[in-house]
Chains A and B, each alone.
Chain A
C-alpha cells in the first residue's frame, strides 16, 4: 500500500519538496468504512417542527407576469396569490423539450387532481416563448391537445416585447439555435402562495410524485404559519 509517506518520498524524489528532518509520518486516521444507521432514501421533510428550516429554500420573488391568456383575457400571476403555482415556458411549435414539458405537467396535473389539490390549491401557468406565433387560439388548441385543464392551467401570450420582458425577468431566454429553431433552458418554477420561488425543476428529473411532495410541503408550511389557506386574494 502506498501511503502519504511514499507520496512525499515521490515528491522529494522529483525535487518538489525536501525534508531535512525526514519524511513526515502518516496522520492517524481510520481507513475503514464506517456506515451509520440505515437511512431512508426519500427526502425527509419535517412538517412538525416550525424551527426546522424548509428543504425548499426561498430562491427569490416570482417576477411579475401580466399577459393574455388562451381565452384572450388579461391575466396577472398576482391573482393566484394564496395558491401554489407551477410556471413553465414553452412554445407550441417546439420540437425539443416543450412537448415533453407540457406532457410531464399533465401527469403532475393528474397527480394533483388525485390528491384533491388541483385548482383549489394549485394552478399552472405556461408562458409562450414564441408569442408572435402562439396566439390565444393556437394556445387553446395546444392545451386541448394535451388535455390540459384550462380552468386552472393558464397558457399565456401577449405582445412580443412584453413577453420578452417577462421571459428575461424569470432569467429565461429563447433564441435561434444552430438548427434555426428556438433554443431555451429547461426550467419549471414552483411558486409558493406568497409569490416566492421555492424550487426550480429540470425536465429530465421532473417526477409527479416529487412535485406533489413539494406542493404538500409548502402547503403544510403555509398552514403552520397562518392556518388553513383561504381563497386566493384577488388584487
Chain B
C-alpha cells in the first residue's frame, strides 16, 4: 500500500466514530476512550447557607460503591448559583461557573479523576469582560469560549469571551445589536459556522419566577462566521431558545434548539444562498429546559421541566419530528447527560433556585434502548440528606 494511502487511513482512524461519540460537547473535546467511571454533578447548596460544591458519583458498574456519592469538592463560597460547565479540549480541566456570582472555577480532573481539585478561581470575570452570567463553556483548541447571559451590570447586552485554558483573558466578542440576549453556543467547524441563542440577563433571572419580566427574554438566534467571530445573521425562533445542537453528521447543515417559553423545538438550516432558515418543527411538553442528542444523530431528548417528563423525538426527518418515547424519572427533570455509547442518560432536577419547585433533588439514570427510554429503578442518588442539607444538582459531566 502506498505510504500516502496508508497515512490517509491513519487520518480516517482519528475521526471519532459517530455512533460512539459523546454528544453535546464541543467537537474539540477529547472523547472518553472507555466507559465512564465517574459522574460529576455541579451542585447548589439548596438553602444557600453552605458552600456550593461538586459531587462525584461512582458510575462504574463493577465498583462496590456504584451509584453512590463518593466525594465532594467544596468550592469555597456560597450563593453562586453554580450552573453549567465544560471540559477543556484535552479533558484535563473543567471550567465551571456561577450565574449569580459570575465566579468561574478551573477544576483539575486529570490528576485524580475521583478527587477533582480547584486549580484556580476567577473572581474578576465581569471586570475583564464587561459581561456577567457565564453560561456555556465551549472548548476550543487550547482555549475556552464562554457565552454570557448579560452585561457586567446584570443588564444587556450579552456577549462571548475567550480565555486560555489556564484562565488568561484573550478577547471579548460582541453580540450583534439586534440580538442582545445570550445563552448557549455551538460550533460546526467543518462549515465554519457558530450559532448562539438567547435567554434573559441577571436582572431578570435572579428574581423569583413570579416577578420575572416576560418581555425581558430573547428569541433571537445568531449565525456566526466562526473563524472570524463575526455575526452573519440574526434569526428568530420561539421565546427563549436555549440549547444549540448541530446535527452530528458532518454533511448536515442544520441543527435544533429548544424554546423554553414557547414549548417547542425549532430547526435551523442552511440555505443554498448561505442564509439560515428558522422553523418550528415540534411542540413539546411544558418548559423544554434541556436538549440532548443520540450519538447516531437520530434522536433528540427534551426534558420538559414543567410537565415532569423527558421526551425522545425521532429526528430522522428534521422537518417532521416524531415523538418516540417518554419517561418521568422524577419531578421537574432538567439536565441530562448521555454517555458516548448513547445507552445511559443521567438526569438531575434543578434548573435555577428561582425556578425549582421540586423541593427534593436526585440524580437518576435512564437507559436508552431500541424501544425507547426506561428509568433505572435502582439508580437514585439522593441529594437531600447530605451533611450540608439538600443540594440542587444541575449540570453533569462524565469521566
What is the interface of chain A, defined by CB distance below 8 A to chain B? 1-4, 6-7, 10-11, 14-19, 24, 26-27, 29-45, 55, 57-60, 96-97, 99-100, 103-104, 145, 171, 173, 177-178, 185-189, 200-205, 210
A27 interface neighbour in B140, B165, B239, B283, Cβ under 8 Å:
B239
B275 interface neighbour in A1, A36, A200, Cβ under 8 Å:
A36
Q: Which 10 residue pairs spanning A and B have beta carbons closest together?
A: A10-B286, A43-B227, A35-B275, A185-B90, A16-B357, A200-B142, A38-B273, A200-B141, A2-B263, A55-B228
CB distance from A68 to the nearest CB of B (A): 25
Q: Is B170 an interface residue (CB 8 A)?
A: yes
Residues on A with C-beta less than 8 A from B164 are 59-60, 171
Q: Is B391 an interface residue (CB 8 A)?
A: no
Q: A19-B210, A205-B190 are in contact. Are A3 and B262 (CB under 8 A)?
A: yes
CB distance from B240 to the nearest CB of A (A): 9
CB distance from B381 to the nearest CB of A (A): 23
A99 interface neighbour in B7, B228, B261, B271, Cβ under 8 Å:
B7
Q: Digit string of B178-216 for contact with A (CB within 8 Å is 1, else 0)?
A: 000000000001111100000000000000011000110
Give 9 pairs: A residue, B residue, CB < 8 Å, sorted on A. A11-B209, A17-B209, A17-B210, A34-B235, A35-B235, A40-B274, A103-B11, A205-B28, A205-B189
Residues on A with C-beta less than 8 A from B33 are 177-178
Q: Assess the A57–B233 pair: CB atoms within 8 A.
A: no
What is the interface of chain B, defined by CB distance below 8 A to chain A? 3, 7, 10-11, 14-15, 27-28, 30, 33-34, 89-90, 92, 140-143, 162, 164-166, 168, 170-171, 189-193, 209-210, 214-215, 217, 219, 223, 225, 227-230, 232-239, 261-264, 271, 273-280, 283, 286-287, 306-308, 355, 357
Q: Assess the B228–A29 pair: CB atoms within 8 A.
A: no
Q: A3-B263, A4-B262, A185-B30 are in contact. Are A57 and B170 (CB under 8 A)?
A: yes
Query: How far apart sit A97 and B28, CA to CA, in the bound complex (Å)?
Result: 14
Residues on A with C-beta less than 8 A from B217 are 27
Residues on B with C-beta less than 8 A from A41 are 191-193, 274
Q: Assess the B278–A33 pair: CB atoms within 8 A.
A: yes
A45 interface neighbour in B143, B228, B261, Cβ under 8 Å:
B228
Q: Assess the B235–A33 pair: CB atoms within 8 A.
A: yes
Residues on B with C-beta less than 8 A from A201 are 141
Q: Assess the B286–A36 pair: CB atoms within 8 A.
A: no
Query: How far apart sit A201 and B143, CA to CA, in the bound complex (Å)?
Result: 11
Residue in A96, A187, A188 with the greatest tally of chain B CB atoms within 10 Å: A187
User: Smallest CB-CB separation from A41: which chain B residue?
Assistant: B274
Residues on A with C-beta less than 8 A from B143 are 59, 200
Q: Assess the A10–B306 pair: CB atoms within 8 A.
A: yes
Residues on B with C-beta less than 8 A from A18 are 210
Residues on B with C-beta less than 8 A from A44 are 225, 228, 230
Q: Assess the A99–B141 pair: CB atoms within 8 A.
A: no
User: Smallest CB-CB separation from A27: which chain B residue?
Assistant: B215
Residues on A with C-beta less than 8 A from B308 are 14
CB distance from B276 to the nearest CB of A (A): 6
Query: How far apart sit A52 and B155, CA to CA, in the bound complex (Å)?
Result: 27
Q: Assess the B233–A10 pair: CB atoms within 8 A.
A: no
Query: How far apart sit A210 and B171, CA to CA, in the bound complex (Å)?
Result: 21
Residue in A15, A18, A38, A97 with the greatest tally of chain B CB atoms within 10 Å: A38
